[in-house]
């Protein structure tokens, strides 16, 4: 159902952290139609926003949404054991329904936290599309391609077909290439993927330099860091989302251009003890955005929490409380919009109406001296009062507009089934 919505007397926090008051925002169909200082026409729904703050929706630029089904299954293990002894053996027996309900859980949690769009990385894009259509969230899916499997060419054909069948058909779903990483796809396979991405005019999304060992191994195999390898085969000539890049080297920085956006997922790095990589040293120059990674490693899909941890780790490790300022972090928070093709990320006329209406008059956030501080350091999902995606409410008066209980019940049944099935064999090695 479509509404016209008038947000009256709103306090707006822009994508670059500037605050203004007394705005009338008129939303028609899926777009912000008009912004002015008074408005007399009637709208289907009118909301007095004088006590609320309005921001663009949040973007989660790196997720594995179906992995919410594995939340909490592998705790207190090393990163090697997390992949090799836990997650990949369980994933080898995963079923379509596990993927569907895991994705639904994740999407609900994201919307609860104010996320209006996300970049996903997982196999079985069909199930993720189905879940996205059910929830109303925007998704840019990179179906995972593993080069170690002997079915690589077949996988590439399938993904190409999905791109042709899907892109342009839905307003809220795009598909791009998703090689898992340069350590699970070799240089020749990556080149094939980039060629195909060029033909289909799409970008790609892959994991790069998440650990120090990956950089060392790449230097042994290719005499190049993962970033140097990617640059040498043309990866940065197409729109590329880099998950992590935590261990980017000083000499890699020169290869980063306007096609690249990097999704930082601090909670995962802390939990799996991936170390203090170079991204913090270059946070003002690198094109950083916020990701959550999968809930199997990060346990939540909450961009504010991830951004908060990024700032706190940066301040703590550099012994510098003046660095990683609220405006710096807010800009990083908003950067993800630029990497996705959804015409979102600004409270301006002509942009899609992907909007959070924050209620900061609550125990955890009041009093409000600085709304950015309230959001970045004090808020939780309960402060996301309304969430609008493409002009539709997906959360209203603090409640998600979805069959939440049914999805949670189904997900719990899938989880019981996963434990009964147990772990299988995996060909992959981290």
Residues near Zn ion (CB under 5 A): 243, 293
In sequence order, what are the residues at sequence separation of 6 or more whose Cβ sits closer than 8 angstroms to the Cβ of residue 86? 73, 74, 77, 423
Strands 204-208 and 240-244: parallel
Least separation in angstroms between residue 63's CB and Zn ion is: 8
Q: How far apart are CA 144 and CA 121, in angstroms?
A: 6
d(CA 51, CA 39): 18
Neighbours of 342 (CB within 10 A): 23
Q: Which long-range contacts (CB under 8 A, 24 or more apart) does 23-29 make?
A: 23/54, 25/54, 25/347, 25/355, 27/3, 27/353, 27/355, 27/388, 27/391, 28/4, 28/391, 29/2, 29/4, 29/391
Query: Least distance to Zn ion from the beta carbon of 22, Å?
Result: 42
Tell me whether residue 30 or residue 293 sits nearer to Zn ion (CB atom): 293
Give 243 or 334: the residue with its C-beta nearer to Zn ion: 243
* Nearest alpha carbon to residue 375 among 21, 9, 8, 11: 11
3-state secondary structure of 150: coil
Kindly give the residue spans of alpha helices, DSSP state H, lying in 318-403.
326-339, 371-373
Q: Which is nearer to Zn ion, 294 or 371 (CB)?
A: 294
Nearer to Zn ion by C-beta: 6 or 243? Answer: 243
Q: What are phi and psi of 139, to 5 degrees?
A: -140, 140
Question: Is the distance from CB of 62 to CB of 292 less than 8 angstroms?
Answer: yes
Q: Which helix (H) or strand (E) holds 243?
A: strand 240-244
* Among the listed residues 298, 296, 36, 261, the one whose alpha carbon sits nearest the alpha carbon of residue 140: 261
Q: How far is CA 334 from the centre of its chain?
A: 11
Q: In the bound complex, what is the minimum distance in angstroms from residue 226's beta carbon to Zn ion? A: 14
In this complex, which beta carbon is closest to Zn ion, that of residue 293 or of residue 305? 293
CA distance 17 to 47: 23
Shortest Cβ 180–Zn ion spacing (Å): 9
Closest distance of CB 211 from Zn ion, Å: 12
Nearer to Zn ion, 11 or 209 (CB): 209
**Residue 287 to residue 280: CA distance in whole angstroms:** 12
The DSSP symbol for 87 reads I
Q: Rank residues 243 and 304 by Cβ distance to Zn ion and give the closer one.
A: 243
Q: Quote the least distance from Cβ 243 to Zn ion, whole Å.
A: 5
Q: 15 or 205: whose CB is closer to Zn ion?
A: 205
CB of 269 to Zn ion, least distance (A): 11
Nearer to Zn ion, 56 or 336 (CB): 336
Q: How far is the CB of 258 from Zn ion (least distance, A)?
A: 23
Q: Which CB atom, from 59 or from 243, has the smaller least distance to Zn ion?
A: 243
């Amino acid at each position: 159902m479509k509404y016209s919505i008038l947000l009256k007397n709103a306090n707006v926090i822009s994508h670059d952290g500037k605050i203004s008051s007394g705005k009338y925002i008129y939303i028609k169909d899926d777009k912000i139609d008009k912004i002015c200082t008074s408005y007399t026409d009637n709208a289907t729904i009118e909301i007095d926003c004088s006590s609320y703050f309005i921001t663009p929706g949040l973007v989660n630029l790196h997720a594995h949404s179906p992995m919410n089904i594995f939340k909490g299954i592998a705790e207190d293990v090393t990163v090697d054991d997390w992949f090799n002894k836990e997650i990949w053996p369980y994933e080898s027996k995963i079923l379509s329904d596990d993927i569907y309900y895991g994705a639904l859980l994740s999407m609900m949690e994201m919307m609860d936290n104010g996320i209006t769009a996300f970049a996903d990385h997982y196999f079985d894009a069909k199930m993720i599309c189905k879940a996205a259509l059910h929830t109303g969230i925007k998704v840019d899916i990179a179906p995972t391609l593993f080069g170690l499997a002997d079915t690589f060419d077949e996988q590439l054909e399938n993904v190409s077909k999905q791109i042709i069948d899907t892109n342009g058909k839905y307003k809220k779903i795009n598909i791009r290439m998703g090689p898992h990483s340069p350590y699970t796809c070799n240089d020749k396979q990556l080149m094939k993927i980039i060629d195909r991405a060029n033909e289909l005019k799409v970008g790609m999304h892959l994991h790069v330099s998440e650990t120090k060992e990956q950089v060392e191994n790449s230097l042994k195999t290719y005499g190049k860091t993962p970033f140097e390898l990617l640059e040498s085969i043309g990866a940065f000539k197409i729109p590329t989302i880099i998950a992590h890049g935590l261990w980017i080297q000083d000499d890699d920085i020169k290869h980063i251009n306007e096609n690249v956006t990097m999704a930082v997922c601090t909670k995962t790095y802390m939990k799996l003890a991936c170390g203090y990589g170079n991204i913090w040293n270059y946070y003002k120059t690198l094109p950083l955005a916020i990701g959550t990674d999968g809930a199997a490693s990060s346990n939540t899909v909450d961009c504010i929490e991830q951004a908060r941890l990024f700032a706190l780790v940066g301040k703590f490790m550099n012994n510098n409380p003046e660095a990683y300022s609220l405006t710096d972090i807010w800009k990083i928070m908003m950067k993800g919009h630029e990497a996705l093709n959804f015409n979102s990320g600004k409270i301006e006329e002509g942009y899609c109406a992907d909007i959070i209406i924050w209620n900061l008059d609550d125990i955890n956030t009041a009093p409000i001296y600085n709304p950015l501080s309230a959001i970045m350091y004090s808020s939780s999902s309960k402060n996301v009062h309304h969430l609008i995606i493409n002009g539709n409410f997906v959360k209203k008066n603090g409640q998600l507009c979805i069959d939440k209980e049914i999805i949670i019940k189904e997900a719990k049944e899938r989880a019981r089934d996963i434990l009964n099935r147990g772990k299988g064999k995996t060909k992959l090695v981290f």
